[in-house]
Amino acid sequence: MPKGTKSIEWPLVDSATLEAELGIRKTKRMELVKQLPSPLYWCTVPGGRTIRWNIRLIRNWMLNGDGLAHQAAIDAYRAYAEIE
């Protein structure tokens, strides 16, 4: 990483943490699964039904919708995670 470049953390959290941090209920969490594509916003853990959530990207989407600010966050995450 070039000197002076700030690294952004992209934590993946469990469902209980997502609900607590964002103040949402299970019904809203299930709506997010239907609205937001995997693996960008969430992914399942191999061998189980456990979901890990990209809380920073979801929070950004909740604040900015699908606008340019959110697209910039998606681009930053894709560069970080090397997702095409």
pLDDT of the residue at 5: 44
Per residue in 27-70, pLDDT (tens digit) is 999 999 999 998 899 998 888 788 999 999 999 999 999 899 99
pLDDT band at 1 (very low <50, low <70, confident <90, very high): very low
Residue with tokens 């953390």: 9
Show Cβ contacts of residue 66 under 8 Å, excluding neighbours closer than 6 positions.
Answer: none
Q: Report the chain's C-alpha Rg in angstroms.
A: 13
Q: How far apart are the C-alpha atoms of 23 and 72, rounded to whole Å?
A: 25
Q: Is pTM beyond 0.75 here?
A: yes
- What are residue 14's phi and psi, to 5 degrees? -80, 175
Domain ranges for the chain = 12-81
pLDDT of the residue at 79: 87
Top pLDDT among 2 and 35 is at: 35
